Structure formats: C-alpha cells, structure tokens
C-alpha cells in the first residue's frame, strides 16, 4: 500500500506499536516527514497546522533512531506550554514499544524535586517549556552535550509568548552535531531568522493546507452589536445538537463576564485566563476534555497549547488581533478528518478588519444570519421530541404504570403530556423569554465607501477611543439586562442581598464551585445566584434576602470564636 506506515521505512517493532494504537494510515505531514528524518541528516522545517499529527511525525522516527538508554539526554523537545509538554511526553512514551527509552516532561508549576528525581534516574528524552529548561541549565541539573535531536514544536506559539530569547539561549548550549527539527503553523520573519542562525542545511516541508485554515472548518461570521453577542452565543449553543467548543474573548474581564452570564443561564461553562491558578486550570481542562463541561471561555494566552480533539465549534466572541491569531484559534477545530465550525462575531465597525483577515488567510469566511427565535424554538422542540421518543422506547418505567393509569382515569392523555412538557420546558419554548437581535444584513457601511474617504480617515483616527467607549457603553447595557430571561432574573432579585464569602482564587474557587457549594449545603439552585465576583482571598454574589438567611445559617460554623465564612456585604454592590 502506498499510503501506509509500512511504506515509510519503519521497523517491525514500531509498526506493531502503531497498529496497537489503532492508527491505520499516516497523515500528510507524517508521510512526508518520517522518511526524511529516517533517511537523511538534514535539518527540517515542517509547516503544518495543529491537529495534523505532527507530534507522531517527529516522535516515531526519533524513537527509531535513538539508542537504548545511552546514559545521556539524546533528544530535547521544546514546547510553549506545560499541557503540551505533558501531552508530547506521553506520546513519546506510548510509541516507544519495547525500546528502553525514558521520557521526562520538564515544565513550570511542577515540583523541582519531582524533576530532579527523574533526571537523576537517567532520561533519554526531555520535553519541556523554555523557562523551566533554562532554570535547570543554570542549576546544572541539565546538560545537552550529547544530543542527537532538538525539536522546536509550535515555534510560532513560542514566538508569540516571548520565548525566542530563551530558545536561542538553550540552542547555544547544545552540541553542534545535533539535528534540529522545527515545526510551526506559520513561518514569520523571526522564526526564519532563528532557523538561519541555528539550523544547518535544511529542507522545508509543507502540507497542502500549511499556513491556511483547515479545509474541514466551516468559517462564518455574524455581524452583531456588542450588546447582542451573548444572546447570539446562546442561540448557537441552543441550535447545536452536541455543542463542544472554545469561546475566545479579548480580555480576562470579558472571560469572567461571559462565563458568569452563561452560568446564570444554566450552561455548563468554565473560564480560563492568566489569573487562574495552575491547579484550577488543570481541573477545568480535565473536566472539559471529559466533556463534563461543554463550553470553555478563554483568552488567547490561556488557550495556547491546548490540544483537544472533537471540538465542534471555535467561537471568536471578540475578533482576533491579526490573521495569525485567527488561524491559531480556528485551527483547533476541523481536525483529524472531523468537520468543525469557526464562527466570528463582528461589530459593523470591525467589518474592514475582518476583510483584511479574510484576504490575509486566503480563505472564504461567509456571512450568515443569527438564528432567529422561531428557529431556536423549533430546534428545541425537535430535540425534546427526539429525547422523549428515546425515553419512551426504553420501556423501563413499569413501576410508574399504576400512577399513570390513575391519571388517565381522570385526565385526557394529551392534556397530561402537554402539561408535563409545559412544566419542564416552558422557559425554553416561550418566545417572550428570548431577546430580539438587530439584523444588520442591510446595514449601509457609508464610513467604508470609496466616495467618503475623509470620513473613513477621521473614523480610523478616532477608532481606538470610540471602540472603547462603545464597548463600555454596550457592556453597561448588557450588564443590566442581556435578554428578557436576564431581566426576569434581575427583577426577582431587586433589593437582593450581596453576600461576602471568605474564599477566593487562592482557595481554587471558581463560579461553578460557588454554585456547587451553596447547592450542597442548602439545596438552593444555581439559577438563584447571580453577579458572582471572585477576588484573590474573597468573593461576592447576589441572592434574595430569604436565600441569604438560609445560606448564612448553613455555611457558617456554629463554633464560637470563629470568623464567619459568609456574611452580608457591608457595602452591597
């Protein structure tokens, strides 16, 4: 077979290992890179998107060429994040077969003692983040005098994160005989300069979609006001059978805001940004990977290095800063042969910037209309009908037949079913519970027209200030009422109590953990809690006066002399 692992020059041991892992045929980057690493001594630059199998493309041949437990570090792989370090190390371990080769992930946030013990036992392959590798080099616990390979994985991500100086420092401390393999989705000038400085005779290998968006990603954009973005996001989730997606925001504040509002609407969501501790970050990622939550809201920095398969959506809640950021974001869906969707929210003022991204990426990003209220409700009705049919077909409710017959003796069957559906699904199926979203399909962008350039120049000069003002103004509106559903919740909590909780980020607290704590101790549901705010050592949230009394009574210790865990805020916000 032409497109098979057996045609790449691999050993029987490796082919058996690959077969056990369930891989049937190599991806494009694997077909091109593996033979080159095995058969020549060139340095290589591989340009391929995340999710194309590039980790296996370099791990498999490196493992083939390394000697069994030689006594020194034979390969170094540099990656941008601790999550990727763990993942790549696990990939190396899974492909080693019966070879006696040890791999150690070295990254910030893990105990030095653990890493010292690994290194003392003897390691063949080190997978690490630049900062922690530098620390070990300076401490003398690492040395790279006998390397066979250095791999720079996600090089453009390491550039974006400011690691280039560290990488140059590390490469300058390695032996000159090593081979260098560089992998990157894009090759900006700084990466090219690095390659010229530290790589010998080299070959560039590109996949068909290198530097472009993955062809299985359906790219669309919705033109909406800033204050309509949350409602638009909810409609996308509500009209997707099994939504499992990343939502990108521009700032930490936006992540907290969107996550909090999604919690208020009973969506299973969590947020990630730079202020989240590593412990909580890992818990959130594990929950997301296990699909215990289906919406992850994040900043670009917090999402770097995430490698999660089967994402159905990447949502650009805020337009990315440039074309490369756009490519990195949407490259997380439409992977490994599975279709995905990339949806971008664009305010009318951002239309020109979107067109620039579209032109730079040489891809089609088509405009679509936001799902209308009737479409959302129809979708939900169809889903409810399908779910109920499945439940009925299970035939596992015989213990309730007596009660059912009693009800049928008294009421018409249609009335019973319709009453139950109303009781369970009324809030989801009533049009009045959804906010209207302005349709900008006929919006006249006079500010962008060729015959009004002076206005366009003036607009661009004012854009930075006006964008900030518009964003703040729209947010202040949406903070009050994002939709009739939000308005009804706010109305219920007029005069509500603001509670102070003596726990915060340092206690690994998140909005979801607050909701779980209150429900566990009091039985009060999460939709009765709003306006959650979490600081380093304390938090605030709103409830009704009646619920406040219950929460304070149940959560506080009865022991004398102890400071209360929770109390009414002295200065309600």
Q: What is the pLDDT of residues 127-166, one digit of tens each?
A: 999 999 999 999 999 999 999 999 999 898 898 788 999 9
Q: What residues are paired with 144 via a beta bridge?
A: 174
202 is a domain residue: yes
Q: Which residues contact 393 (CB under 8 A, 6 or more apart)?
A: none
Looking at residue 340, its pLDDT comes to 85
467 is a domain residue: yes
Looking at residue 337, its pLDDT comes to 55
Choose the final residue of a domain: 206, 225, 248: 206
What angle do the packed helices 373-393 and 413-429 form, to 10 degrees?
140
Q: How confident is the model at residue 449 (pLDDT cuts 50, 70, 90)?
A: very low
| pLDDT for residue 456 is more than 50 | no
Q: What is the mean pLDDT of residues 189-213?
A: 82
Residues 227 and 340 both lie in one domain? yes
Looking at residue 557, its pLDDT comes to 64
Least confident of 116-130, 198-212, 506-520: 198-212
Residues 477 and 507 both lie in one domain? no
- Domain hosting 395: range is 373-433
Residues 244 and 296 both lie in one domain? yes
425 is a domain residue: yes
Give the CA radius of gyration of the chain: 28
Q: Residue 247 belongs to what H/E stretch?
A: strand 245-248
Q: Residue 214 belongs to what H/E stretch?
A: none
211 is a domain residue: no
Q: How confident is the model at residue 327 (pLDDT cuts 50, 70, 90)?
A: confident
| pLDDT for residue 539 is more than 60 | yes
* CATH number of the domain encompassing residue 548: 3.30.70.330
23 is a domain residue: yes
Looking at residue 164, its pLDDT comes to 93
Q: What is the mean pLDDT of residues 519-524?
A: 89
Least confident of 330-339, 382-391, 551-560: 330-339
Number of domains present in the structure of the chain: 4
Residue pair 106/170 in contact by the 8 Å Cβ criterion: no
Residues 366 and 391 both lie in one domain? no
Residues 43 and 27 both lie in one domain? yes
Which ranges of 394-483 does DSSP label H, i.e. alpha helix? Answer: 401-410, 413-429, 453-480
- d(Cα 336, Cα 30) in Å, to the nearest integer? 13
527 is a domain residue: yes
Residues 327 and 423 both lie in one domain? no
Average pLDDT along the chain: 82
Backbone φ and ψ of 370, nearest 5°: -60, 135
Backbone φ and ψ of 465, nearest 5°: -70, -45
Place of tokens 């979490």: 534
| pLDDT for residue 384 is more than 90 | no
Residues 124 and 28 both lie in one domain? yes
Least confident of 436-440, 482-486, 526-530: 482-486
Q: What residues are paired with 539 via a beta bridge?
A: 501, 534
Looking at residue 474, its pLDDT comes to 38
Residues 472 and 497 both lie in one domain? no
Residue pair 137/99 in contact by the 8 Å Cβ criterion: no
Residues 160 and 79 both lie in one domain? yes
Q: What is the mean pLDDT of residues 236-256?
A: 92
For strands 217-223 and 366-367, give the pairing: parallel
Q: Kindly state the tokens that stand for 510.
A: 């998140």
| pLDDT for residue 513 is more than 50 | yes
Least confident of 48-57, 75-84, 155-164, 207-216: 207-216
* CATH number of the domain encompassing residue 176: 3.40.50.300
pTM score: 0.52
| pLDDT for residue 438 is more than 90 | no
Choose the final residue of a domain: 206, 227, 260: 206
Residue pair 236/243 in contact by the 8 Å Cβ criterion: yes
573 is a domain residue: no
Looking at residue 106, its pLDDT comes to 95
Residues 301 and 366 both lie in one domain? yes
Residues 362 and 478 both lie in one domain? yes
Residues 293 and 412 both lie in one domain? no
Q: What residues are paired with 174 via a beta bridge?
A: 144
Looking at residue 247, its pLDDT comes to 96
- Residue 118, SS3 per DSSP: helix
- Which of 24-33, 122-131, 461-470 reaches the highest mean pLDDT? 122-131
212 is a domain residue: no
Q: What residues are paired with 533 via a beta bridge?
A: 540
Looking at residue 336, its pLDDT comes to 54
Residue pair 427/485 in contact by the 8 Å Cβ criterion: yes
Looking at residue 558, its pLDDT comes to 56
- Which of 18-22, 155-159, 195-199, 557-561 reaches the highest mean pLDDT? 195-199
Q: What is the mean pLDDT of residues 472-482?
A: 36
Looking at residue 178, its pLDDT comes to 95
Q: What residues are paired with 315 via a beta bridge?
A: 247, 343
For strands 295-298 and 269-272, give the pairing: parallel
Q: Which residues contact 423 (CB under 8 A, 6 or more apart)?
A: none
């Amino acid at each position: 077979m032409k497109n098979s692992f057996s045609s790449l020059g691999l050993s029987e041991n490796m082919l058996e290992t690959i077969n056990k892992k369930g891989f049937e045929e190599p991806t494009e980057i694997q077909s091109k890179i593996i033979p080159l690493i095995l058969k020549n001594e060139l340095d290589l630059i591989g340009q391929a998107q995340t999710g194309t199998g590039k980790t296996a493309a370099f791990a498999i041949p490196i493992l083939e060429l390394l000697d069994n437990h030689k006594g020194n570090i034979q390969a170094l792989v540099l990656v941008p994040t601790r999550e990727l370090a763990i993942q790549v190390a696990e990939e190396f371990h899974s492909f080693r077969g019966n070879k006696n080769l040890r791999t150690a992930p070295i990254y910030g946030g893990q105990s030095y003692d653990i890493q010292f013990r690994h290194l003392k036992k003897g390691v063949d392959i080190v997978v690490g983040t630049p900062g922690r590798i530098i620390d070990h080099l300076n401490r003398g616990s690492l040395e790279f005098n006998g390397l066979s390979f250095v791999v720079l994985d996600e090089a453009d991500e390491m550039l974006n994160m400011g690691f280039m100086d560290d990488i140059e420092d590390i490469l300058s401390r390695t032996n000159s005989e090593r081979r260098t393999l560089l992998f990157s989705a894009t090759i900006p000038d700084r990466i090219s300069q690095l390659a010229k400085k530290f790589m010998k005779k080299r070959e560039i290998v590109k996949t068909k979609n290198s530097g472009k968006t993955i062809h299985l990603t359906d790219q669309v954009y919705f033109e909406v006001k800033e204050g309509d973005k949350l409602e638009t996001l909810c409609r996308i989730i509500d009209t997707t059978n099994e939504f499992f997606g990343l939502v990108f925001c521009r700032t930490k504040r936006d992540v907290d805001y969107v996550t909090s509002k999604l919690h208020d609407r009973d969506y299973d969501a969590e947020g990630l940004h730079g202020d989240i501790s590593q412990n909580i970050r890992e818990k959130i990622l594990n929950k997301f990977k296990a699909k215990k939550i289906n919406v992850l809201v994040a900043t670009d920095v917090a999402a770097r290095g995430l490698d999660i398969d089967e994402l159905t959506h990447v949502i650009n809640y805020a337009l990315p800063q440039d074309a490369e950021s756009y490519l990195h974001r949407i490259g997380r869906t439409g992977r490994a042969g599975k279709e995905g969707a990339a949806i971008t929210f664009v305010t009318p003022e951002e239309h020109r910037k979107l067109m620039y991204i579209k032109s730079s990426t040489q891809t089609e990003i088509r405009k679509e209309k936001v799902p209308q209220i009737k479409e959302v409700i129809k979708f939900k009705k169809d889903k409810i009908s399908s779910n109920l049919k499945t439940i009925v077909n299970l035939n596992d409710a015989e213990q309730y037949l007596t009660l059912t017959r009693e009800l049928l003796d008294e009421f018409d069957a249609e009335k019973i079913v319709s009453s139950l559906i109303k009781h369970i699904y009324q809030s989801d199926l009533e049009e009045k519970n959804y906010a209207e979203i302005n349709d900008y399909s006929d919006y006249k962008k006079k500010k962008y027209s060729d015959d009004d350039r002076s206005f366009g120049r003036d607009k661009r000069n004012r854009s930075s200030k006006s964008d900030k003002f518009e964003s703040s103004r729209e947010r202040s509106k949406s903070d009050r009422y994002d939709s009739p559903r939000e308005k009804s919740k706010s109305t219920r909590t007029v005069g509500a109590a603001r509670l102070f909780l003596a726990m915060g980020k340092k206690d690994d607290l998140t909005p979801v953990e607050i909701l779980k704590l209150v429900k566990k101790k009091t039985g009060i549901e999460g939709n009765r809690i709003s306006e959650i705010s979490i600081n380093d050592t304390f938090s605030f949230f709103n409830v009704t006066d009646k619920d406040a009394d219950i929460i304070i009574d149940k959560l506080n210790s009865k022991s004398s002399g102890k400071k209360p865990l929770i109390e009414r805020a002295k200065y309600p916000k």
